[in-house]
A = this chain, B = another copy of it.
Amino acid sequence: MAKRITIKDVAEETGLSIAAVSYVLNDKEGVRPETREMVLDAVQRLGYVPNYTARGLASHRSRLIGICSPQTEPGSKLMFDNPFYSKLFSSIEYECRIEGYHVIVSGTDADESFLKLAQQRSLDGMIIVGSYSKEFYSDLKKANMPVVLIDTYQNPERFHEVKIDDRRGGYLATKYLIDRGHKDIAFISGALREQGVTQLRFDGYRLALQESGIAYRKELVVPGVVSFQSGVECAGKVLEQASGITAMFCTADIIAMGAMKKVLSMGLNVPQDISIMGFDNLNISEYTSPSITTVGQDIELKGKLAVEIILDEIENRIQEPRCIELPVQIIERESTRRL
């Protein structure tokens, strides 16, 4: 390997001590302007790049942020089948990069392995997507590092939070369909977990029905997992077990795509026979024919705010836990119609 230029080379080049060069490079106060200029000149001339591994040990800063992301199955690959995660990750990576941080994404085998990663890599902070066990959060607290949770209502340790108004999202979607004459609205979702986002969307669904005096029919509710295949299966199941369905509210666009595929494959039309409503406003909800009416959330902003908060804590600009709830709105497309 070509010889790496070190801080020692910069010191030799300038005739200054290593400590003096280090002062300049770490933006310490009390350095004379001409000294600073001399060092920065030498840095440029020699092509010196600070080594974060060495710097991390000295400053206790690694400039690395970890992202903990759910997996399809334990010990398996990252959940990138749902483009929601790739969009969120892409936003986090970008916001970190422009602030001089890098990102390590890792699937978590068990709750423990991510904490191990945090220690091994001396992460400056962690962004945790989704809901985990209570023990996971208390272990996280013990690690005593900046943490931002995205999309969970499970926060016993009062970490920072960024989420959307999921109950309102579920309410708006259902109300939109009711306002267009639908009464028999299937609810197709991921797992209904206490303090998960799906439960809240379900609460919104029930609230909208109740407000409009529409009786809740249990056989219209089919929870599965958040995937295309589950959308296919749940749509088939609900059409088999319940009669009179004119609309389906799917709690994720990827589920809505599966439901639509199933409905079309049965020779039914969307939206003429069945209206389909998604959630997330992924790019792919525009790509299908018909395109999918959905509950829009700003996934990029979610990632951006999570990074802002975590860097604010790392760089000591905030002390108190912050909780940001982003608004949602209906994005009207082609998969729904007025009855």
**Contact call B283/A228, Cβ cutoff below 8 A:** yes
CA distance A47 to B81 in the complex (A): 35
**Contact call A144/B103, Cβ cutoff below 8 A:** no
| Stretch among A163-171, A174-182, A187-195, A258-266 lining the B interface | A258-266
Complex interface bits, A107-126 against B, C-beta within 8 A gives 1, otherwise 0? 10000000011011110000
CA distance A81 to B86 in the complex (A): 8
1-55 of chain A: CB within 8 A of chain B: 1-2, 4, 49-54
Answer yes or no: A326 CB below 8 A from chain B CBs: no
**Contact call B102/A104, Cβ cutoff below 8 A:** yes
111-167 of chain A: CB within 8 A of chain B: 116-117, 119-122, 142-145
Q: Is the interface of A mostly helix, strand, loop or mixed?
A: helix
Complex interface bits, A282-311 against B, C-beta within 8 A gives 1, otherwise 0? 011011110000000000000000000000
| A interface, size bucket | 35 or more
Which of chain B's residues has its CB closest to A291's CB?
Answer: B261
75-91 of chain A: CB within 8 A of chain B: 76-78, 80-81, 83, 85-87, 89-91
Answer yes or no: A280 CB below 8 A from chain B CBs: no
CA distance A1 to B118 in the complex (A): 12
**Contact call A49/B287, Cβ cutoff below 8 A:** no
Chain A positions near chain B (C-beta within 8 angstroms): 1-2, 4, 49-54, 56-57, 62, 76-78, 80-81, 83, 85-87, 89-91, 93-94, 97, 102-107, 116-117, 119-122, 142-145, 228, 257-258, 260-261, 264-265, 283-284, 286-289
